[in-house]
């Protein structure tokens, strides 16, 4: 039985039933060995889900040509922007593509956000967030750079911290910076806007034997790094 891994609920997806439109939650996922690409499911209440048949985008970039951890957000212009993990180990970037309808996609691009870190082990689970205040996109991900941080009980090659870049057009990107260092190995972060100057960061403590979910809070989507 194929397993569905990292889940990201991103934006409301409008589909048409006859003449009526209904807002639905969209669920992105992948299936091991992650070579088939993007899978989608939808829900009316956020609890009960129905899968849509087949893959919506097959990965073509990255050394491994896989798609793990697909993350989608909808911009102010109605365009959907997606980022994903292209390699389980190795690689210094993530994949990117855009779509107006989640069916027809742009040419896939590889964004080498850790190109200035030759010792980087991985670039995992990029998460994309649209900042409607600054009108820009924030992309965060987990990477391990051995011997950069105190590692606790984790091995040097499994000691992740969160990094980020920003962009307005997906052509030029800010310099890569540290996003979040909680003092332990952290992965799979998701930014949620609750209200004006009220943001939540949902994160996974990846330190054995913890391996649990925590939350952090900030007055902006960049939290204390801003």
Q: How many CB atoms sit inside 10 A of residue 27's CB?
A: 21
Distance of alpha carbon 14 from alpha carbon 6, whole angstroms: 23
pLDDT of residue 13: 41
**53-68 pLDDT, tens digit each:** 999 999 999 999 999 9
Are 216 and 192 spatial neighbours (Cβ–Cβ below 8 Å)? no
pLDDT of residue 226: 58
Are 71 and 82 spatial neighbours (Cβ–Cβ below 8 Å)? yes
Residues facing residue 95 across a β-bridge = 84, 110
Q: What is the mean pLDDT of the chain?
A: 90
Angle at 215 between CA 29 and CA 173, to 5 degrees: 60
Q: How many CB atoms sit inside 10 A of residue 211's CB?
A: 10
pLDDT of residue 20: 64
**88-101 pLDDT, tens digit each:** 999 999 999 999 99
pLDDT of residue 225: 66
**pLDDT above 60: residue 15:** no
| CA-based radius of gyration for the chain | 17
**116-147 pLDDT, tens digit each:** 999 999 999 999 999 999 999 999 999 999 99
Number of H helices and number of E strands within the chain? 0, 15
Are 187 and 142 spatial neighbours (Cβ–Cβ below 8 Å)? yes
Are 178 and 144 spatial neighbours (Cβ–Cβ below 8 Å)? no
Using a pLDDT cut of 90, give the percent of the chain over it.
84
Sheet-wide strand order for 160-167: 124-131, 136-144, 160-167, 177-180
């Amino acid at each position: 039985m194929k397993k569905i891994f990292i889940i990201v609920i991103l934006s409301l997806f409008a589909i048409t039933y006859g003449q009526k439109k209904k807002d639905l939650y969209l669920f992105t996922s992948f299936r091991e060995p992650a070579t088939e690409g993007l899978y989608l499911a939808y829900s009316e209440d956020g609890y009960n889900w129905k899968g849509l048949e087949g893959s919506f985008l097959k990965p073509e970039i990255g050394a491994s040509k896989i798609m793990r951890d697909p993350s989608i957000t909808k911009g102010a212009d109605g365009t959907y922007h997606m980022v994903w993990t292209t390699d389980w180990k190795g690689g210094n970037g993530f994949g990117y593509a855009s779509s107006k309808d989640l069916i027809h996609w742009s040419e896939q691009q590889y964004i080498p956000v850790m190109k200035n870190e030759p010792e980087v082990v991985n670039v995992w689970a990029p998460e994309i967030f649209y900042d409607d205040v600054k009108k820009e996109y924030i992309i965060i991900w987990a990477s391990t750079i051995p011997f950069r941080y105190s590692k606790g009980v984790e091995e040097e090659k499994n000691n992740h911290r969160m990094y980020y870049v920003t962009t307005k057009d997906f052509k030029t990107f800010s310099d890569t910076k540290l996003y979040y260092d909680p003092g332990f190995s952290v992965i799979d972060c998701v930014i949620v806007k609750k209200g004006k100057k009220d943001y939540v960061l949902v994160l996974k403590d990846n330190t054995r034997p913890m391996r649990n979910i925590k939350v952090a809070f900030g007055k902006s989507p960049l939290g204390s790094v801003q």
